[in-house]
Amino acid sequence: MRTLGDDLKRGDVILANHPKAGGSHLPDLTVITPVFYEDSIKPVFFVANRGHHADIGGISPGSMPPHSKYLWQEGASFKSFKIVKAGEFQEEELTAALMAPAQYPGCTGTRLLQDNLSDLKAQIAANHKGIQLVSELIDQYGLDVVQAYMGHIQHNAEVAVREMLKIIGKKAKGI
Protein backbone atom coordinates (compact mmCIF):
# COMPACT_ATOMS: atom_id res chain seq x y z
CA MET A 1 0.00 0.00 0.00
CA ARG A 2 2.91 2.34 0.76
CA THR A 3 4.46 1.74 -2.64
CA LEU A 4 1.41 1.47 -4.88
CA GLY A 5 -1.23 3.39 -2.89
CA ASP A 6 -4.14 4.38 -5.12
CA ASP A 7 -2.53 2.60 -8.08
CA LEU A 8 -3.65 -0.77 -6.65
CA LYS A 9 -6.86 -1.74 -8.40
CA ARG A 10 -9.20 -4.70 -8.79
CA GLY A 11 -7.57 -7.32 -10.95
CA ASP A 12 -4.02 -6.45 -9.87
CA VAL A 13 -1.61 -8.96 -8.37
CA ILE A 14 1.76 -8.05 -6.87
CA LEU A 15 5.02 -10.00 -6.88
CA ALA A 16 7.66 -9.42 -4.19
CA ASN A 17 10.84 -11.09 -2.99
CA HIS A 18 13.15 -8.18 -2.14
CA PRO A 19 14.50 -8.07 1.43
CA LYS A 20 13.18 -4.49 1.74
CA ALA A 21 9.70 -5.77 0.84
CA GLY A 22 9.44 -8.61 3.34
CA GLY A 23 11.35 -11.18 1.33
CA SER A 24 13.29 -13.95 3.03
CA HIS A 25 15.63 -14.78 0.15
CA LEU A 26 15.23 -14.13 -3.53
CA PRO A 27 14.10 -17.59 -4.74
CA ASP A 28 11.08 -17.30 -2.42
CA LEU A 29 8.61 -15.37 -4.58
CA THR A 30 5.57 -13.94 -2.78
CA VAL A 31 2.38 -13.34 -4.75
CA ILE A 32 0.02 -10.83 -3.09
CA THR A 33 -3.53 -10.18 -4.24
CA PRO A 34 -5.77 -7.45 -2.82
CA VAL A 35 -9.28 -8.47 -1.80
CA PHE A 36 -11.90 -5.95 -2.84
CA TYR A 37 -15.34 -6.70 -1.45
CA GLU A 38 -18.46 -5.53 -3.23
CA ASP A 39 -18.09 -1.78 -3.90
CA SER A 40 -15.00 -1.20 -1.75
CA ILE A 41 -12.58 1.31 -3.24
CA LYS A 42 -9.64 0.03 -1.22
CA PRO A 43 -8.73 -3.57 -0.42
CA VAL A 44 -10.42 -4.99 2.68
CA PHE A 45 -7.84 -7.81 2.94
CA PHE A 46 -4.85 -9.25 1.13
CA VAL A 47 -4.21 -12.89 0.33
CA ALA A 48 -0.67 -14.04 -0.28
CA ASN A 49 1.44 -17.10 -0.75
CA ARG A 50 5.16 -17.65 -0.99
CA GLY A 51 6.60 -20.25 -3.34
CA HIS A 52 10.20 -21.37 -3.52
CA HIS A 53 11.49 -21.28 -7.08
CA ALA A 54 14.41 -23.49 -8.12
CA ASP A 55 16.15 -20.67 -10.00
CA ILE A 56 15.67 -16.98 -10.72
CA GLY A 57 19.05 -16.22 -12.25
CA GLY A 58 22.22 -14.80 -10.77
CA ILE A 59 25.79 -16.05 -10.62
CA SER A 60 24.99 -19.69 -9.89
CA PRO A 61 22.17 -22.15 -10.49
CA GLY A 62 19.73 -22.28 -7.62
CA SER A 63 20.02 -18.51 -7.03
CA MET A 64 21.63 -18.89 -3.60
CA PRO A 65 25.36 -18.34 -4.09
CA PRO A 66 27.19 -18.35 -0.75
CA HIS A 67 29.91 -16.06 -2.12
CA SER A 68 27.64 -13.29 -3.45
CA LYS A 69 28.42 -9.73 -2.44
CA TYR A 70 25.56 -7.94 -4.16
CA LEU A 71 21.87 -8.67 -4.25
CA TRP A 72 21.80 -8.80 -8.05
CA GLN A 73 24.19 -11.76 -7.92
CA GLU A 74 21.40 -13.78 -6.31
CA GLY A 75 18.95 -13.28 -9.15
CA ALA A 76 15.88 -11.27 -10.07
CA SER A 77 14.40 -9.09 -7.36
CA PHE A 78 10.93 -7.58 -7.07
CA LYS A 79 9.65 -5.00 -4.57
CA SER A 80 6.10 -4.31 -5.78
CA PHE A 81 5.94 -5.68 -9.29
CA LYS A 82 2.48 -5.88 -10.85
CA ILE A 83 2.54 -9.40 -12.22
CA VAL A 84 -1.13 -8.95 -13.17
CA LYS A 85 -2.59 -5.56 -14.16
CA ALA A 86 -6.34 -5.21 -14.44
CA GLY A 87 -6.66 -8.98 -14.86
CA GLU A 88 -3.95 -9.29 -17.55
CA PHE A 89 -0.90 -11.47 -16.80
CA GLN A 90 2.19 -9.39 -17.59
CA GLU A 91 4.23 -12.18 -19.18
CA GLU A 92 6.46 -10.00 -21.35
CA GLU A 93 7.39 -7.64 -18.49
CA LEU A 94 7.80 -10.54 -16.06
CA THR A 95 10.05 -12.42 -18.50
CA ALA A 96 12.21 -9.33 -18.94
CA ALA A 97 12.51 -8.94 -15.15
CA LEU A 98 13.39 -12.61 -14.65
CA MET A 99 16.05 -12.35 -17.35
CA ALA A 100 17.40 -8.99 -16.08
CA PRO A 101 20.22 -10.43 -13.93
CA ALA A 102 22.00 -11.33 -17.21
CA GLN A 103 22.95 -7.66 -17.55
CA TYR A 104 25.47 -8.07 -14.70
CA PRO A 105 28.95 -9.58 -15.02
CA GLY A 106 29.01 -13.34 -14.49
CA CYS A 107 25.23 -13.57 -14.12
CA THR A 108 22.44 -15.10 -16.15
CA GLY A 109 18.72 -14.63 -16.11
CA THR A 110 16.56 -17.44 -14.81
CA ARG A 111 17.55 -20.82 -16.16
CA LEU A 112 14.00 -22.15 -15.69
CA LEU A 113 11.76 -19.50 -17.24
CA GLN A 114 8.86 -21.79 -18.16
CA ASP A 115 8.87 -23.31 -14.66
CA ASN A 116 8.85 -19.84 -13.11
CA LEU A 117 5.95 -18.71 -15.29
CA SER A 118 3.92 -21.85 -14.60
CA ASP A 119 4.59 -21.76 -10.86
CA LEU A 120 3.69 -18.08 -10.63
CA LYS A 121 0.42 -18.72 -12.48
CA ALA A 122 -0.32 -21.47 -9.95
CA GLN A 123 0.41 -19.06 -7.09
CA ILE A 124 -1.96 -16.52 -8.63
CA ALA A 125 -4.65 -19.21 -8.90
CA ALA A 126 -4.14 -20.16 -5.25
CA ASN A 127 -4.71 -16.53 -4.28
CA HIS A 128 -7.93 -16.46 -6.28
CA LYS A 129 -9.13 -19.45 -4.25
CA GLY A 130 -8.17 -17.55 -1.09
CA ILE A 131 -10.21 -14.55 -2.23
CA GLN A 132 -13.19 -16.82 -2.85
CA LEU A 133 -12.93 -18.28 0.65
CA VAL A 134 -12.49 -14.90 2.36
CA SER A 135 -15.45 -13.53 0.39
CA GLU A 136 -17.58 -16.48 1.53
CA LEU A 137 -16.65 -15.73 5.15
CA ILE A 138 -17.64 -12.08 4.67
CA ASP A 139 -20.91 -13.10 3.01
CA GLN A 140 -21.73 -15.39 5.92
CA TYR A 141 -20.60 -13.29 8.91
CA GLY A 142 -20.23 -9.73 7.62
CA LEU A 143 -17.14 -7.64 6.92
CA ASP A 144 -16.95 -6.10 10.41
CA VAL A 145 -16.99 -9.50 12.12
CA VAL A 146 -14.38 -11.03 9.80
CA GLN A 147 -12.10 -8.00 10.17
CA ALA A 148 -12.49 -8.14 13.95
CA TYR A 149 -11.54 -11.82 14.05
CA MET A 150 -8.56 -11.21 11.76
CA GLY A 151 -7.49 -8.52 14.22
CA HIS A 152 -7.83 -11.00 17.11
CA ILE A 153 -5.74 -13.56 15.22
CA GLN A 154 -3.03 -10.98 14.54
CA HIS A 155 -3.02 -9.87 18.18
CA ASN A 156 -2.81 -13.46 19.40
CA ALA A 157 0.10 -14.16 17.04
CA GLU A 158 1.90 -11.05 18.27
CA VAL A 159 1.48 -12.08 21.91
CA ALA A 160 2.68 -15.63 21.16
CA VAL A 161 5.80 -14.39 19.36
CA ARG A 162 6.59 -11.88 22.12
CA GLU A 163 6.31 -14.61 24.76
CA MET A 164 8.48 -16.96 22.73
CA LEU A 165 11.13 -14.25 22.32
CA LYS A 166 11.11 -13.62 26.08
CA ILE A 167 11.75 -17.33 26.70
CA ILE A 168 14.56 -17.40 24.15
CA GLY A 169 16.03 -14.24 25.66
CA LYS A 170 16.00 -15.74 29.16
CA LYS A 171 17.67 -18.92 27.90
CA ALA A 172 20.31 -16.89 26.08
CA LYS A 173 21.10 -15.03 29.33
CA GLY A 174 21.26 -18.30 31.22
CA ILE A 175 18.30 -17.41 33.43
pLDDT at 11: 96
User: How far is C-alpha 38 from the geometric centre of its chain's CA atoms?
Assistant: 24
Mark whether 50 and 13 lie in a shared domain: yes
Can you give the residue range of the structural domain that contains 170? Answer: 142-175
Question: 159 and 87, same structural domain?
Answer: no
Question: What does the radius of gyration of the chain's CA atoms come to, in whole angstroms?
Answer: 19
Same domain, 136 and 167: no
Is there a single domain that holds both residue 162 and residue 118? Answer: no
- What's the rounded Cα separation, in Å, for the pair 121 and 33? 13
pLDDT surpasses 70 at 175: no
Same structural domain, 126 and 161: no
Same domain, yes or no, for 133 and 163? no
State yes or no: pLDDT of 64 exceeds 80. Answer: no
Note whether 70 and 128 are same-domain residues: yes
Kindly state whether residues 120 and 162 are assigned to the same domain.
Answer: no
Alpha helices in 17-112 (DSSP H): 91-99
User: Mean per-residue pLDDT for 143-149?
Assistant: 97
Please check the confidence at residue 29 and state whether its pLDDT lies above 70: yes
90 lies in the same domain as 100: yes
Residue 24 confidence class, pLDDT cut points 50, 70, 90:
confident
3-state secondary structure of 161: helix
Number of structural domains in the chain: 2
Do 130 and 162 reside in the same domain of the chain?
no
